[in-house]
Amino acid sequence: MSFLEKMMLIDRRWIYLSIGLAVIIPVVVQFEVPVSVSPEVKKIYDFVENLNAGDYLFIAVDYDPSSMAELNPMAEAVLNQAFAKDLKVIIVTLAQFGPGMVEDLTTRLAAAHHRVRGEDYVFLGYRPYPAITIMLMGINFRVPFPVDHYSVPLDSMPMMRDIRNFADVKAVIDFTAGNTADFWITYGVGRFDFPLAIGITGVMAADYYQYLQSGQIFGIIPGVKGAAEYEQLVGFPGKGKEQMAYQVIAHSVIIAFILISNIAYFATRKQKQQLGGGR
C-alpha cells in the first residue's frame, strides 16, 4: 500500500493527535500573530468610542461555558472599553448558564475599573423565553426584571431612575452562541428599532453577515478572530489575541491534511481508472 493510499485510510485519531500536538507548539515557542481589523468590528468600536461618559449601553451576555472560549474575550474587551469610557452599562442574560458568565466578567472588570454595581452598571439577571423577555424589556425593563439579579429593586438604583426601555440606551450589543441573535434582530430591532451589534461564534458568522448588509445590525464581532481584532482596537491584549498563535498552527495542520487527502484522493482515483476500476 502506497503512502497516498495509507493517507486515504488514516485513522482519525492520528489527526486528533496531530492537532493536539500542534496546539502545544505555541505553549513552548511563544509568538505573536499580526491582526488586521475588519470594518464590521471597527464600526462597533467606533460607536462605543464616540459615546459620552454617562451614556447608557445595553449588553446581552447570551452564552454559557461551552462558548466562553470565543465569546468571553470579546465581551471582556467591550466591557473594558465601556468601563474605561465611564459608560453606564445594563447587562442581561437570556442563556440559562449566563449568570455565571456575567458575574465572572463584572466581578473582575468592575474591580479593575473601580465601578460600583447599581451606580455604574446593573445586572438585570436571567429570564427564559428570549422573545418574550426582549419584547417585555421593550415596554419597560421593570416588567420582566422588577428586581435585579441580586434582588435589588431597579427603582432603588440611582443609575436606573430615569431609564425605562431600549429607547433610553444608545445601543444593544449581544454576545451570543445560539439563535438568541435571531430573537434580538426579530423581536428587538424588528419591533423597537434600536441600534444592535452582535458578537457571535465562528460557526454562526457566515449566517449573520446578511443582516449587516441590510442595516439591521451595525456591526459584527465574528468568533475569536473578531475578539482579537477588538482587543487590538481597545489596546487590551487578552485571550482572543493569545489564541491567534494557536489558531495559525492548528489551521496550518488542518490545511496540510486537506491538501494531502485531496492529492491522495485524485492520485488513487487516477490509478483505479488506469486499472479499469473506480468512477
Partner 1 sequence: MTTEQAILNGIAVFLTLCIFSFLYRDNPFYKFAERLVAGVATGYWTMLLYHTNFTDKVLTPIFVRGQLHYIIPALLGVLMWTRFSKKYAWLSRYSIAFYIGISSGVTITVTLYTFLFKQLQATIGMPITADYAGINTFLIVLAVVSALVYFFFSLPHKGAIGTVSRIGIYVIMIGFGAGFGMTVMGRIALLVQRVIFINDYVRGLVAFIGGS
- Could you list the residues that contact partner 1 (CB under 8 A)? 13, 16, 19-20, 23-24, 27, 66, 68-70, 96-97, 99, 125-128, 131, 135, 146-147, 185-187, 189-191, 201-207, 210, 213-216, 222-225, 239, 242-243, 246-247, 250-251, 254
Least distance to partner 1 from the beta carbon of 2, Å? 27
Least distance to partner 1 from the beta carbon of 105, Å? 15
Q: Which 3-state string (H, E, C) describes the chain?
A: CCHHHHHHCCCHHHHHHHHHHHCCHHHHCCCCCCCCCCHHHHHHHHHHHCCCCCCEEEEEEECCHHHHHHHHHHHHHHHHHHHHCCCEEEEEECCCCHHHHHHHHHHHHHHHHCCCECCCEEEEEECCCHHHHHHHHHHCCCCCCCECCCCCEHHHCHHHCCCCCHHHCCEEEEEECCCHHHHHHHHHHHHHCCCEEEEECHHHHHHHHHHHHCCCCCEEEEHHHHHHHHHHHHCCCCHHHHHHHHHHHHHHHHHHHHHHHHHHHHHHHHHHHHCCCCC
Least distance to partner 1 from the beta carbon of 198, Å? 14
Q: Which is nearer to partner 1, 73 or 83 (CB)?
A: 73
Least distance to partner 1 from the beta carbon of 201, Å? 5
Q: Which is nearer to partner 1, 67 or 80 (CB)?
A: 67
Q: Which is nearer to partner 1, 84 or 152 (CB)?
A: 152
Q: Which is nearer to partner 1, 49 or 193 (CB)?
A: 193
Q: Which is nearer to partner 1, 4 or 147 (CB)?
A: 147
Least distance to partner 1 from the beta carbon of 195, Å? 15
